Amino acid sequence: MVNLALMGAFIPTFLFVSVTPGMCMTLAMTLGMSQGVRRTFWMMWGEMLGVGLVAVLAVCGVAAVMLQFPGLFQGFKIIGACYLGYIGLQMWRAKGKLSLPKPGELPPLMARRTLFSQGFITAVSNPKGWAFHMALLPPFIDIKFAFWPQLFVLVAIILLLEFLSMLLYASGGKALALFFGKANRVQYLNRIGASLMFGVALWMLLG
């Protein structure tokens, strides 16, 4: 079904890329701070759906078509960046769904649909994700084997690595939130989370 020799290079390559800080990992850490790890799973499901979709379409050549219409893709990026920027602004003002509570209060939770859509939009709006999958994924497909079974296995591995990496970042964000909460510095944590969200939005616009 797959070339084991290629898999030996595929797994460490994509593991390194998944663990490297990026838009999705930053978002996972931010939500881990404000929503908790378990709630952040909903963002992860959306992100993995987006990554899987990008990987499949990139290999099938849709990325090449999108690159021929940069205006359309740029518009989608701007919408996603504005959405994340709005959330960051709400966090900065400590009035939005992502703002952390004062000590002793229950954290306000975002809707599961909102978390899911955040992850999905962030994944499909990342131009580096399209370029990366288009450039690196096809070389790991062996023409001696059936195409779709190989692609299924490779994408499944990518999603597993993405999930583990986001879980690591979200857990780190939760630990950071607990530290700030005990120090009664929730406002600072809100500002840090907002700054990270602004950074993700800016990354979308400039990437």
Q: How much is the pLDDT for 18?
A: 80
Query: Quick one: pLDDT at residue 207?
Result: 59
Place of tokens 């993995």: 48
Closest Cα to residue 123, out of 21, 32, 62, 53? Answer: 53
**Residue 116: predicted pLDDT:** 95
From the number of C-beta atoms within 10 Å of its C-beta (0-12, 13-18, 19+), residue 90 rates as middle
pTM over 0.85: no
Q: Can you give the pLDDT at residue 181?
A: 57
List Cβ neighbours of 107 (8 Å cut-off, separation of 6 or more). Answer: 34, 35, 36, 100, 101
Rg (CA), the chain: 18
Is the distance from CB of 110 to CB of 30 less than 8 angstroms?
Answer: no
Q: What's the pLDDT at 158?
A: 93
CB-CB neighbours of 92 under 10 Å: 18
The closest of 131, 125, 30 to 79, measured between CA atoms, is 125
Give the chain's residues under pLDDT 50: 95-101, 103-106
Among residues 141, 109, 118, which one has the least CA distance to residue 45? 118
pLDDT of residue 98: 41
Residue 138: the pLDDT is 77
| Displacement of CA 193 from its chain's centroid (Å) | 15
- Reported in sequence order, the residue ranges of the chain that DSSP labels E, i.e. its strands, are none
